[in-house]
C-alpha cells in the first residue's frame, strides 16, 4: 500500500514518479542496448558493445530495467573512457550492489584472462595457477561459494586439481568474446543460489546488437619463465601464438543475425618451487614424548644437540621433507561461440547459441628431495610461543637422495547449447524463456595419466640439514657419492582423475507492469546438476629400489646444478645449498623400469578399478517474485522487495571399498589390501525461503545511497555429500585415513547487509564507499573420529614389532625395526623377505596377522555446526582529468572475520579461508592514437587452507603485488597495435605455516610479454 500526503521536502507523494523511471530506463537502455549497434555503424561516435541479450530473466535485469527498444541512442566517447563510463552506468542504474567490467572494444577486454580483470574490482581477489588467475574470492568468501553464470545461465565446472569442488576455473575461457562481466554482490531473487560472495555473470555479444562487423587479431606471447627450466622440462620455444576473431552479420532488415567468435592461444611457461612438500609434523608441546617427530627432552640423549629448545607452553613442528621442483607446462586453449538470432518484430527475439572451450595442458617436471625419518637430530629454534627451526639436521648414513620426474597431460572441455526467447506480449507484460544443456569434462590427455611421479635415487645421503633463514629453505647434504651409489629407480605413482558435470536448466519468467512506476518480476527455474568424479592411483612401493642399479645406465641421467633455476629467490646463492641434480627422460625411464620389473601395470594408470567414484545428482526447483517500485519523494527512491523459494533433492552414490588387510612395505607406508568395491547410495533434501530487499535514493542527481538486505545459500562441496566411506590407499605408521560424506548436509546460509554511498561527479568519475556484513551459518565442520576395523590388523605394535623394540630398536627407527623383523622372522606368518637394497637394508612385506592390534582409521565426516561473521568496507575512486586523456582508478577493500586460525593450537580448527585486504591502482592515458593502462594489484596475507599434507596445519599466502601494463596504438582507423606486459615486477610468491619461518612453498615464475595487432573491418 502506498501512503500519501501533500508534497513536502520530507513527505511521500501518492504516485511514484514516472519521469525518474523513464530516465533510468533511457540511461540503462542506451548503455546496455544501443552502444553496440551504434559502434558498428560509426566507430567514431559510439561506445563499444555492452552485451545485453542475456539468456534468461536474471541476466536481463542487469541494469535494473528492461531496455526500451525505442530509446534514443546515446553518443559517448570510445575506448577505455567508454568502458569506464559504461561500467559506471551499470553500477549506477542497477538494483542492489553491482560492479562490472566492460570491454574497451569488440574483442578487447582489459586483460587476456578474465580472473585478472576481475581482481581490479573492489572486493574481488584471485587465486593463481601457473602464474595466471584461475578462481576468485569475493569479500572473503572462497571460490566454492561464488556462482558463475554465462549469459545468465549456471555454468558447469570441472577441475582435476580439486575433484570435489564447485569453483569455476576462469583459465578455461579466453576474454576476446566477452563484452562485459557483471558482479552482483548483493542477493537477488532471480539469480540461482550459490553466490554468497557474489554472482558473476559473463556476457557475450549478440549479432543483432553488433550488426555487420568483423575483427581479427593476433599476438606473439613471450613467457620468460620457460627460459628458466631444465631442457628436459622446457618447451622448445618461449614464443607462442594467439589468434582470435569475431564476425557478425544481419540481414532481412535486421530480423536475422548470426555471429561467430573464435580464439586459439598457446602458452609455454615454467614454475619453480622450493617447498616442504609434505608439510610440518606437529604441533608438539614442549614436553611431549613417544610420538614420531618430537625432539629429545632436556637431559635426554641428543638434547645436547638442541639450541634454544622450546619449553614451557611452547609448541613446535618439524619438517617432513624438503624438495625443489622445476615444472614446465605447455597450454593450448581453444574457445568458440556461434549465435543465431531472429527478431521478426520489435516485440519478439529468439536466440540459439553454442559455446565451446577446450583447455589442454602438458606438464613435465623434475624434483630434488630429501625425506626426514625423525631420528637423531641437531637443531636450533626460534623463540615461542610457536617455535620454528632456524635449522634442522638429521644425522643419517646412506639414505636416499631422491630425484624424481613426471610427465602427464590433462584436458578440460566445456560445451553449452542454449535457446532463449524474449517476448513483449503486451505493453505491460514481457515474458522470457531460456533453456540450456551444458557439460564440463576434465580428464587425462596422456597415457601416463593426469599426474605421476617416478623416483630415482642414490643411497648416499649422509647428514642432512635444512636452513630456514633465507626466503627459500636451503638444503645441505653430506657424503653424496653418485659413483659409489649410482642412480636407480625406486618407487612411483601414476594417477588418473576424471570429473564431469552436466547441467540441464530451464528458466521462465516475466515482468508485469502494475502501475506506471511499479513492476512485478516473477519466474520459475528448474535445474538438474549431475556430477561425477573418479580417481585411481597405481603405486609401486619399491622405495628401497625397484630393481638393480645395473638396470639403469648412467648415460640415462644428465647431471645439472640446482641454484640456477631459483635465481630470483633469496638463498639460491648460499654456498651450503646442495647443487647436484640428475635429470632424465621420463618416458624412457618409465619404459626401462617397466621392462626391468616385468610389471608394466604398475607404471600406467587406469580407471577400470578406481580408488573412488562419486556420482551426485541435485534436482532444484525455484520460484521467485520481486516487486520493483519507483517512489516520487523529495529525494527519488527505488525499492525492490523479493523472495525466492528453493527446493533441492540430493542423490549421492559412491564406490566404497572393503579393507581386508594391511602391508608394511616401507618405513612409513602401509598400503591397504582391498577385497571388493560396491556402490552405496544416500539421499538428502533441503528447502529455503530467501528474502531480499533493495533500496536506493538519489540524494542529488549525482549522489546516490543504497541499502540491501538478503539471504543467500551456497551448496556443500561434493566430497562433503558423497555416499559411503572412502579409505585412502596408503596409511602411515600410526593410522589410515578416510572420508565419509553426508548428503543431508545443509547449504551454508548467509544473511547479508550492504550499505553504500556513491558520488558520480562527472560522466566517467566517481567516489564510493561500501560497507558490508555477512552472518554465515551452517558451515560444514570436520568431524574427525578414530575408528577401528576389528577384522583387519596391523603389524605396528604387534609381537614382531615389540620383539624389535626389546632388541634395542627405538619406536621411531622403523628401518631398524624392519631389519630386525626380516632377519629374525622371515618365513613366519605375515613376513616375506626380499633382497637387500643397495644400502644393505632389508626389503619386503610385513603384513598384519591375527593377534596384532586392530587397524585404526582417522575418518573425517561433515556436520553443519560452524558459523562466522564477515564484515568489511570497499572504497572506490575513478577519475578522468578533464580532456587531458589521463585518468586513474583506485580501490581498497578491508575484510575482517571473527574467526581466525590459532597458530598455537593443535587439532582440527575451523577458520574462514581467503580473507584478505586488497587494493588496486590503475593509471590511464588515452587519445586518438594511444591507449595506455598501467595497473598495480596487491593482496594482503591470507589463510588459504587449514590443513597441509601432514595434518591440521594452516597455510598462509604472503602479500603479493603485481604490475601489469597494456599499450595500444591506433596505426590507422581500423588497425591497432598492442603491447602487454604481465608481472613486470617479477613478483615471487611465498606460503608459510604457523610462523613465517615454517615455509611451505616459495615460487618463482617470470614476466610475460605480448605483442600483437587487431584489425576491424
Q: Which residues contact 222 (CB under 8 A, 6 or more apart)?
A: 238, 239, 1008, 1009, 1010, 1011
179 within a domain of the structure (yes/no):
yes
Could you tell me the residue range of the domain that residue 832 belongs to? 795-854
Judge if 675 and 821 occupy the same domain.
no
Q: Distance between CA atoms of 707 and 405, rounded to whole angstroms?
A: 55
Burial 364-389 (b: 16+ CB within 10 A, else e): bbbbbbbbbbbbbbbbbbbebebbbb
Judge if 257 and 229 occupy the same domain.
yes
716 within a domain of the structure (yes/no):
yes
Q: Which residues contact 937 (CB under 8 A, 6 or more apart)?
A: 119, 120, 918, 919, 920, 961, 962, 964
Q: Which residues contact 275 (CB under 8 A, 6 or more apart)?
A: 322, 323, 324, 325, 999, 1000, 1001, 1002
3-state secondary structure of 515: strand
Q: Would you state the pLDDT for residue 48?
A: 30
318 within a domain of the structure (yes/no):
no
Q: Distance between CA atoms of 149 and 333, rounded to whole angstroms?
A: 20
Judge if 684 and 752 occupy the same domain.
yes
Do residues 378 and 389 lie in contact, with contact meaning Cβ atoms separated by under 8 Å?
Answer: no
Q: Distance between CA atoms of 679 and 630, rounded to whole angstroms?
A: 56
Query: Dmax over Cα atoms in the chain, in whole Å?
Result: 103
Into how many domains does the chain fold?
Answer: 2
Report the residue count for the chain: 1017
Q: Distance between CA atoms of 363 and 301, rounded to whole angstroms?
A: 47
Do residues 460 and 478 lie in contact, with contact meaning Cβ atoms separated by under 8 Å?
Answer: no
DSSP 8-class letter at 108: B
Do residues 323 and 275 lie in contact, with contact meaning Cβ atoms separated by under 8 Å?
Answer: yes
Q: Which residues contact 276 (CB under 8 A, 6 or more apart)?
A: 319, 320, 321, 322, 323, 473, 998, 999, 1000, 1001
Q: Distance between CA atoms of 61 and 432, rounded to whole angstroms?
A: 12
Q: Distance between CA atoms of 992 and 874, rounded to whole angstroms?
A: 28
Judge if 976 and 992 occupy the same domain.
yes
Could you please report the per-residue DSSP string of 331-368? Answer: EEEEEEEEEEEEEEETTEEEEEEEEEEEEEEEEEEEEE
Q: Output the CA torsion sign for 556, 561, 564, 569.
A: positive
Asked whether the bond before 846 is cis by omega within 30 degrees of 0, the reply is no
- Which CA distances in Å does 722 have to 88, 500, 613, 685, 972? 44, 15, 9, 14, 58
Judge if 827 and 954 occupy the same domain.
no
Could you please report the per-residue DSSP string of 698-750? Answer: EEETTEEEEEEEEEEEEPPPTTTS-SSEEE-SEE-SS-EEEEE--TTPPPEEE
Position of cell 646442495?
Answer: 578
Burial 741-771 (b: 16+ CB within 10 A, else e): bbbebbbbbbbbbbbbebebeeebbbebebe
Last residue of a domain, one of 830, 854, 878: 854
* Residue 521, H or E segment: strand 518-540
In degrees, rounded to 5, the angle at the alpha carbon of residue 277 between the alpha carbons of residues 276 and 282 is 65
CATH number for the domain that contains residue 170: 2.40.170.20
Residue 345 has which C-alpha cell?
Answer: 518484430
385 within a domain of the structure (yes/no):
no
Looking from the CA of 51 toward its CB, the CA atoms found within 13 Å total 28
Nearest to 177 by CA among 318, 51, 361, 14: 51
727 within a domain of the structure (yes/no):
yes
Q: Would you state the pLDDT for residue 328?
A: 97
Residue 244 has which C-alpha cell?
Answer: 582470435
Residues of the chain where predicted confidence (pLDDT) is lower than 50: 1-76
Judge if 814 and 666 occupy the same domain.
no
* Residue 625, H or E segment: strand 612-631
Judge if 800 and 873 occupy the same domain.
no
Q: Distance between CA atoms of 434 and 509, rounded to whole angstroms?
A: 9
Tens digit of pLDDT for each residue in 44-56?
322 333 233 333 3
758 within a domain of the structure (yes/no):
yes
Q: Distance between CA atoms of 874 and 893, rounded to whole angstroms?
A: 5
Judge if 808 and 717 occupy the same domain.
no
333 within a domain of the structure (yes/no):
yes
In degrees, rounded to 5, the angle at the alpha carbon of residue 410 between the alpha carbons of residues 126 and 716 is 50
Judge if 134 and 198 occupy the same domain.
yes
Position of cell 545461465?
Answer: 153
Judge if 735 and 808 occupy the same domain.
no
Q: Distance between CA atoms of 589 and 597, rounded to whole angstroms?
A: 12
Nearest to 417 by CA among 401, 439, 432, 400: 439
Last residue of a domain, one of 834, 854, 874: 854
Judge if 703 and 756 occupy the same domain.
yes
Judge if 335 and 275 occupy the same domain.
yes
Q: Distance between CA atoms of 755 and 733, rounded to whole angstroms?
A: 54
112 within a domain of the structure (yes/no):
yes
| 338 bridge partner residues | 260, 354
Amino acid at each position: 500500500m502506498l501512503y500519501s500526503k501533500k508534497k513536502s521536502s520530507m513527505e511521500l507523494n501518492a504516485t511514484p514518479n514516472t519521469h525518474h523511471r523513464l530516465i533510468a530506463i533511457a540511461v540503462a537502455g542506451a548503455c546496455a542496448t544501443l552502444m553496440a549497434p551504434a559502434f558498428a555503424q560509426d566507430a567514431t561516435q559510439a561506445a563499444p558493445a555492452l552485451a545485453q541479450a542475456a539468456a534468461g530473466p536474471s541476466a536481463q535485469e542487469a541494469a535494473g530495467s528492461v531496455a526500451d527498444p525505442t530509446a534514443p541512442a546515446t553518443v559517448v566517447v570510445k575506448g577505455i573512457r567508454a568502458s569506464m563510463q559504461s561500467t559506471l552506468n551499470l553500477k549506477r542504474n542497477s538494483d542492489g550492489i553491482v560492479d562490472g567490467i566492460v570491454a574497451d572494444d569488440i574483442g578487447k577486454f582489459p586483460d587476456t584472462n578474465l580472473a585478472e580483470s576481475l581482481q581490479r574490482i573492489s572486493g574481488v581477489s584471485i587465486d593463481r595457477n601457473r602464474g595466471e588467475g584461475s578462481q576468485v574470492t569475493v569479500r572473503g568468501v572462497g571460490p566454492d561459494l561464488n556462482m558463475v553464470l554465462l549469459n545468465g545461465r549456471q555454468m558447469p565446472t570441472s577441475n582435476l586439481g580439486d575433484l570435489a569442488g564447485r569453483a569455476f576455473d576462469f583459465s578455461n575461457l579466453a576474454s576476446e568474446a566477452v563484452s562485459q562481466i557483471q558482479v552482483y554482490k548483493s542477493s537477488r531473487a532471480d539469480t540461482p543460489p550459490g553466490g554468497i560472495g557474489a554472482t558473476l555473470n559473463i556476457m557475450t555479444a549478440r549479432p543483432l546488437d553488433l550488426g555487420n562487423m568483423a575483427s581479427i587479431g593476433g599476438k606473439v606471447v613471450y613467457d620468460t619463465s620457460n627460459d628458466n627450466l631444465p631442457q628436459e622440462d622446457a618447451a622448445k620455444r618461449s614464443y607462442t601464438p594467439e589468434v582470435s576473431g569475431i564476425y557478425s552479420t544481419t540481414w532481412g532488415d535486421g530480423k536475422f543475425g548470426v555471429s561467430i567468435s573464435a580464439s586459439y592461444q598457446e602458452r609455454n611457461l615454467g614454475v619453480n618451487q622450493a617447498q616442504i612438500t609434505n608439510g610440518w609434523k606437529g604441533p608438539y608441546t614442549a614436553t611431549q614424548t613417544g610420538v614420531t617427530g618430537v625432539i629429545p627432552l632436556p637431559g635426554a640423549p641428543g638434547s645436547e644437540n638442541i639450541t634454544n629448545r622450546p619449553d614451557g607452553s611452547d609448541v613446535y613442528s618439524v619438517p617432513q621433507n624438503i624438495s625443489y621442483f622445476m615444472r614446465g607446462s605447455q597450454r593450448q586453449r581453444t574457445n568458440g561461440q556461434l549465435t543465431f538470432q531472429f527478431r521478426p518484430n520489435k516485440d519478439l527475439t529468439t536466440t540459439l547459441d553454442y559455446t565451446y572451450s577446450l583447455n589442454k595442458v602438458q606438464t613435465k617436471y623434475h624434483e630434488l628431495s630429501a625425506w626426514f625419518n625423525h631420528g637423531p637430530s641437531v637443531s636450533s629454534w626460534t623463540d615461542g610461543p610457536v617455535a620454528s627451526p632456524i635449522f634442522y639436521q638429521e644425522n643419517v648414513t646412506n639414505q636416499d637422495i631422491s630425484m624424481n620426474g613426471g610427465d602427464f597431460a590433462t584436458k578440460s572441455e566445456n560445451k553449452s547449447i542454449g535457446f532463449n526467447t524474449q517476448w513483449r506480449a503486451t505493453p505491460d507484460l514481457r515474458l522470457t524463456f531460456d533453456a540450456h544443456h551444458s557439460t564440463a569434462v576434465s580428464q587425462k590427455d596422456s597415457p601416463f595419466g593426469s599426474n605421476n611421479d617416478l623416483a630415482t635415487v642414490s643411497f648416499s645421503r649422509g647428514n642432512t640439514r635444512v636452513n630456514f633463514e633465507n626466503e627459500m629453505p636451503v638444503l645441505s647434504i653430506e657424503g653424496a657419492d653418485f659413483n659409489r651409489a649410482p642412480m636407480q629407480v625406486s618407487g612411483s605413482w601414476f594417477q588418473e582423475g576424471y570429473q564431469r558435470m552436466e547441467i540441464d536448466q530451464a528458466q521462465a519468467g516475466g515482468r508485469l507492469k502494475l502501475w506506471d512506476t511499479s513492476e512485478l518480476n516473477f519466474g520459475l527455474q528448474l535445474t538438474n546438476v549431475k556430477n561425477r568424479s573418479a580417481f585411481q592411483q597405481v603405486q609401486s612401493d619399491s622405495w628401497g629400489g625397484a630393481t638393480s642399479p645395473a638396470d639403469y645406465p648412467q648415460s640415462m641421467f644428465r647431471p645439472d646444478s640446482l641454484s640456477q633455476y631459483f635465481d630470483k629467490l633469496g638463498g639460491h646463492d648460499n654456498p651450503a645449498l646442495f647443487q647436484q641434480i640428475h635429470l632424465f627422460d621420463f618416458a624412457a625411464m618409465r619404459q626401462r623400469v617397466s621392462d626391468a620389473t616385468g610389471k608394466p601395470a604398475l607404471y600406467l594408470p587406469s580407471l577400470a578399478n578406481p580408488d573412488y567414484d562419486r556420482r551426485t545428482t541435485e534436482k532444484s526447483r525455484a520460484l521467485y517474485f520481486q516487486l520493483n517500485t519507483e517512489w516520487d519523494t523529495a529525494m527519488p527512491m527505488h525499492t525492490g522487495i523479493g523472495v525466492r523459494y528453493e527446493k533441492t533433492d540430493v542423490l549421492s552414490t559412491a564406490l566404497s571399498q572393503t579393507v581386508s588387510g594391511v602391508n608394511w612395505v616401507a618405513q612409513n607406508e602401509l598400503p591397504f589390501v582391498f577385497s571388493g568395491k560396491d556402490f552405496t547410495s544416500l539421499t538428502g533434501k533441503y528447502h529455503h525461503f530467501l528474502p531480499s530487499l533493495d533500496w536506493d535514493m538519489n540524494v542529488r542527481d549525482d549522489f546516490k545511497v543504497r541499502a540491501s538486505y538478503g539471504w543467500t545459500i551456497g551448496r556443500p562441496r561434493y566430497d562433503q555429500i558423497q555416499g559411503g566411506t572412502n579409505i585412502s590407499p596408503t596409511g602411515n605408521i600410526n593410522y589410515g585415513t578416510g572420508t565419509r560424506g553426508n548428503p543431508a548436509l545443509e547449504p551454508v546460509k548467509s544473511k547479508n547487509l550492504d550499505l553504500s554511498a556513491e558520488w558520480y561527479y562527472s560522466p566517467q568519475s566517481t567516489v564510493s564507499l561500501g560497507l558490508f556484513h555477512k552472518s554465515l551459518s551452517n558451515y560444514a565442520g570436520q568431524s574427525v573420529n578414530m575408528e577401528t576395523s576389528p577384522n583387519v590388523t596391523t603389524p605396528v605394535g604387534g609381537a614382531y614389532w615389540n620383539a624389535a623394540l626389546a632388541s634395542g630398536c627405538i619406536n621411531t627407527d622403523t628401518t631398524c625395526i624392519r631389519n630386525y623383523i626380516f632377519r629374525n622372522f622371515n618365513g613366519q606368518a605375515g613376513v616375506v623377505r626380499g633382497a637387500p637394497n643397495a644400502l644393505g637394508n632389508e626389503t619386503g612385506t610385513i603384513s598384519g596377522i591375527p593377534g596384532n592390534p586392530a587397524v585404526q582409521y582417522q575418518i573425517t565426516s561433515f556436520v553443519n555446526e560452524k558459523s562466522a561473521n564477515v564484515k568489511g568496507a570497499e572504497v572506490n575512486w575513478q577519475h578522468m582529468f578533464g580532456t587531458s586523456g589521463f585518468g586513474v582508478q583506485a580501490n581498497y577493500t578491508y575484510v575482517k572475520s571473527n574467526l581466525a586460525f590459532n597458530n598455537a593450537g593443535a587439532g582440527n580448527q575451523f577458520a574462514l579461508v581467503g580473507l584478505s585486504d586488497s587494493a588496486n591502482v590503475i593509471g590511464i592515458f588515452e587519445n586518438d592514437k594511444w591507449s595506455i593502462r598501467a595497473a598495480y594489484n596487491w593482496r594482503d596475507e591470507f589463510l588459504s587452507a587449514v590443513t597441509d599434507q601432514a595434518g591440521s596445519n594452516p597455510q598462509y599466502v604472503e602479500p603479493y603485488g603485481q604490475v601489469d601494463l597494456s599499450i595500444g596504438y591506433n596505426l590507422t582507423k581500423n588497425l591497432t597495435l598492442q603491447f602487454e606486459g604481465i608481472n613486470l615486477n617479477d613478483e615471487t610468491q611465498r606460503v608459510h605455516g604457523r610462523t613465517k619461518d615454517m615455509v611451505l612453498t616459495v615460487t618463482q615464475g617470470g614476466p610475460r610479454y605480448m605483442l600483437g595487432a587487431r584489425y576491424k573491418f
